[in-house]
Amino acid sequence: MAMIPGGAEPVIGRHRPVVIVFLVVINIIVFIYTTSSGIPLYASSQQAVNEFGFKPGYIFYNPQRAIVTMFTSMFVHADLLHIFFNMYFLWLFGSRIERTIGHLKTLLLYFLSGLAAILFHIGFIPIGGYESLLIPAVGASGAISGVLGAYLLLFPHTRLSLCFFYFFIPFCFNLPAYAFLLFWFAEQVLYGYLQLGGVAYFAHIGGFVMGLFLIPHLYKPRRRYPVYLDYVLKYLYEYLGIQVVRPRGLGRTAKTILVILLLLVATGFMYAAYSSTNAPFNTYIVNVKTTLVEGAVEDTILLYFMPGSPTPIDFTLSYIDSVRITLNRLQPLLYNSTYEGKGGEVEYQYYLYTVRIRGVDVEVVLRDFYAKYNEKGVMVYSRGVLDTYVVVDNKLGSKTTISFNYNAYDVNLDLMVPLCLLAASLSVFAISSILKSDETSVFSSLELPGAYPYI
């Protein structure tokens, strides 16, 4: 699908879109840099995504890095198509926004929408799954979604041309901007709740909602006609049935759809707040660094502690062999009921035990082992050396020696509650922008000097 502006719309505003140009250029420069160590000008390297992407888990164990990556992630894109469509939409909608509200307000809209995207992305985790704590989020989509939300209220009647290609044959049609943006927003909400694909749909929703909420505060249209004209035109329409005006803002149906979607989003975050306080488990972000002859590697996984369960410890899979082996061998030691309510430390110079891996009993020798347990009995730190065997095809394989360093950070799910409530509140507050959108909308038909801006 391709989209281009349609109709003979005038350029409203005196500002040149220098901020939008600047943002596009910066995004392109960053993309060139992040692809330099991968496939040049095609896809960002995984190293760059991990370094500059925002992982929600950072807010629980590395707040400084969380703040930095909130901003760096807005300028990193996964691949060429990702940045192309983002920059296309940013220029298509953002240039007109900047001409209307000015440079500084456009910059404020962009970054606040990006931060709202991160807020909504984090707030949806109790529903979408805690695995998202460790997945780096990248892209300017959230910030650009805020531009789309602002555009919806400012220029709802702008004509857009959409073209679909069927076997390279284009089929094009025109429709107003509000129809396209309403459909897009509804799609994000639907896909977000269905959790389709690897896209952070609720980040898009967060940016869009922030754009809706902000624009009445960033733009106050100047009244260019007598106040009493409103009452005259309203009288002609309601009592005489004579309609001589074209609606400036969103129609009643569009407003109703938007309000329903915003209430659905707010309800979801209220449920997410409830879920985070009633989770039947405690979540830990675990970083494991292992050292073999070949060198040191590390990985981060999630550990779930379920009090009262016959098997109270579970953790997500690591795709790094040495990390996975280390966690599987340490599993009997990850929880110790004797330390419940008090915490404690343990140290072994030499400790021999057996674990069962894939139906095979595997001998493990721990050397120079030291561990700390919290008051729940969960191991939060350990280091040492383990000698064990690799299991291959349900059989004992070669012997291996791994030095390891283990750190577990408690994910305080109570912190999720204010974040979810903030996201829900923003969704509700955005409804007020919808209800008074007629006051915000810029007339988007041909405007002659001296003409009333909505005739």
Domains of the chain: residue spans and CATH: 2-277+414-440 (1.20.1540.10), 282-411 (no CATH)
Angle between helices 63-72 and 103-123 (to 10 degrees): 130
Task: Return the higher-pLDDT residue of 330 and 245.
Answer: 330
**Type of residue found at 70:** M
Greatest Cα pair distance, the chain, in angstroms, is 95
pLDDT tops 70 at residue 85: yes
Cα–Cα dist 209/181, whole Å: 12
Chain position carrying tokens 């659905």: 264
What the block records as the tokens of 19 is 């901020």
C-alpha 224/C-alpha 57 separation (Å) is 51
Q: What is the mean pLDDT of the chain?
A: 87
Which are the contacts of 263, defined by CB distance < 8 A and separation ≥ 6? Answer: 427, 428, 431
DSSP per residue over 103-114, as a string?
HHHHHHHHHHHH
Phi and psi torsions of 421, nearest 5°: -65, -35
As to burial, measured by CB atoms within 10 angstroms (0-12 exposed, 13-18 middle, 19+ buried), residue 394 is exposed
Beta bridge partners of 160: 5, 175
User: Nearest CA to 121 among 296, 318, 272?
Assistant: 272
Residues 23-81 have pLDDT tens digits of: 999 999 999 999 887 677 888 988 899 999 999 999 988 999 999 999 999 999 999 99
According to DSSP, residue 339 is labeled G
d(CA 58, CA 415): 13
Q: What pLDDT, on the 0 to 100 scale, is given for residue 251?
A: 84
Residue type, 218: L
Length of the chain: 455
Pairing of strands 169-176, 282-292: unpaired
Are the C-beta atoms of 249 and 440 separated by less than 8 Å?
A: yes
Confidence of residue 163 (pLDDT cuts 50, 70, 90): confident
pLDDT-derived band at 449, boundaries 50, 70, 90: very low
Pairing label, strands 360-373, 159-166: unpaired
Beta carbons of 121 and 69 less than 8 angstroms apart: no
Provide the pLDDT confidence category of residue 12 given band limits of 50, 70 and 90: low
What distance in Å separates the CA atoms of residue 9 and residue 26, rounded to the nearest whole number? 29
**Global confidence as pTM:** 0.86
Report strand pairing: 282-292 vs 295-305. antiparallel
CA distance 228 to 248: 17
Q: Which of 187, 1, 20, 172 is nearest to 99 (CA)?
A: 20
Tokens of 135: 């997945």
Stretch (H or E) spanning 146 = helix 141-154
